[in-house]
Amino acid sequence: MKFGTKAIHAGVEPDPSTGAIMTPIYQTSTYVQASPGDHKGYEYSRTQNPTRDALQKNIAALENARHGLCFASGLASIDAIIKLFKPGDEIIAANDLYGGTYRLFTKIFSKYGLKFHFINMENVQDIEKYINGNTKLLWIETPTNPMMNIIDIRGASDIAKKHGLLLGVDNTFATPYLQTPLDLGADIVMHSVTKYLAGHSDVVMGALALNDDQLAADLAFIQNSSGATPGPQDSFLTLRGIKTLHLRMQRHTENGQAIAGYLQDHPKVDKLYWPGLSSHPNHAIAKEQMKDFGGMISFTLKGNDKEEAFRVMESFRYFSLAESLGGVESLVNHPATMTHASIPYEERQKIGLLDSLIRLSVGIEDVEDLIEDLKQAIN
Asked if residue 123 lies in contact with residue 281, where contact means CB atoms within 8 angstroms, the answer is: no
**Res 293: pLDDT:** 98
**Res 342: pLDDT:** 86
**More confident position, 278 or 341:** 278
Answer yes or no: is pLDDT of 331 > 90. Answer: yes
pLDDT tens per residue across span 72-108: 999 999 999 999 999 999 999 999 999 999 999 999 9
In this prediction, residue 352 has a pLDDT band, given cuts at 50, 70 and 90, of: confident
Answer yes or no: is pLDDT of 347 > 90. Answer: no
CATH architecture of the region 245-378: Alpha-Beta Complex (3.90)
- Residue extents of the structural domains in the chain: 3-242, 245-378
**Res 84: pLDDT:** 98
Q: CA dihedral defined by 11, 14, 17, 18, rounded to 10 degrees? A: 150
**Res 268: pLDDT:** 96
Rama region for 369: left / alpha / beta (φ>0; ψ in -120 to 50; rest)? alpha
Beta strand pairing call for 90-94 and 135-141: parallel
Calpha distance 72→223 (Å, rounded): 10
Sheet strands side by side (includes 320-321): 269-273, 296-301, 358-361, 331-333, 320-321
Answer yes or no: is pLDDT of 339 > 90. Answer: no
**Res 166: pLDDT:** 98
Mean pLDDT over the full length of the chain: 96
Asked if residue 301 lies in contact with residue 312, where contact means CB atoms within 8 angstroms, the answer is: yes
Average pLDDT over residues 136-165: 98
**Res 298: pLDDT:** 98
Answer yes or no: is pLDDT of 376 > 90. Answer: yes
Q: Hey, which CATH number is domain 3-242, 3.40.30.10, 3.40.140.10, 3.40.640.10, 2.60.120.200?
A: 3.40.640.10
pTM: 0.96
**Res 304: pLDDT:** 86
Catalytic residue set: 46, 98, 170, 195
In this prediction, residue 171 has a pLDDT band, given cuts at 50, 70 and 90, of: very high
Average pLDDT over residues 46-61: 98
Average pLDDT over residues 155-181: 98
Average pLDDT over residues 49-78: 98
Calpha distance 96→122 (Å, rounded): 10
**Res 341: pLDDT:** 85
